[in-house]
Amino acid sequence: MKEYKILLTGTVGAGKTTAIERVSETPPVMTDVPNSDTSIDKECTTVGLDFGQLTLDNGDRVRLFGTPGQARFDFLWKILIRNALGVIVLMDNSRPDPLGDLSTYTQGFAEALRTLPCVIGVGRLDAHPVPTLDDYAERLAVTGLVFPILGVDVRSRTDVILLIDTLLMQLEADMRGETE
């Protein structure tokens, strides 16, 4: 049995806690507290980490760690990324500047993203179709990064599993490339 540590990061309200809740086989660990930041329209917010785990069909275990979304907690990002095998970045397309938000996370995790596989999940595309997935790809390309970008609804277990599977496929492809 293999174990994988995957980090979920992204903006406040993008659904990191919800995504972990949807797939975790054990009661998730959450550090949500009442939100005191009036600029964020959210009752509670993560101030430490979220944690859940999922067993794959082959018996391998995925341990999911969610970061706080606010940039003021970026010191935790650096701690939580340690030993991660990949990163899922969740974006909220209803925010005022989603592409600027993407830059916050690609810069905040720049060192890790040079070597780790990553997938970008964009939520709320149905009600907020702009920017498009192509716009996200173009923003990434400017920084020299190329990652899969998927429209997702983190309330859907199937969509969250798709993000995890996409990340694990990249890991598998990387491992195959190392042995060839």
Q: What is the pLDDT of residues 93-111, one digit of tens each?
A: 999 999 999 999 999 999 9
If we measure between CA atoms, which residue out of 119, 111, 108 comes closest to residue 146? 119
Total domains present in the chain: 1
Angle at 12 between CA 104 and CA 132, to 5 degrees: 65
List residues bridging with 55 in a β-sheet. Answer: 61
Please tell me which residue, 124 or 177, carries the higher pLDDT value.
Answer: 124
Other C-beta atoms within 10 Å of 51: how many? Answer: 17
pTM for this predicted structure:
0.92
Per-residue model confidence (pLDDT) at position 87: 98
Q: How confident is the model at residue 128 (pLDDT cuts 50, 70, 90)?
A: very high
| Structural domain boundaries enclosing 107 | 3-179
Average pLDDT, the chain: 91
Q: Tens digit of pLDDT for each residue in 30-83?
A: 877 777 766 667 777 776 799 999 999 999 999 999 999 888 888 999 999 999
135 φ/ψ angles, rounded to the nearest 5 degrees: -60, -40
Confidence check: pLDDT of 180 > 60: no
CATH number of the structural domain spanning residue 72: 3.40.50.300
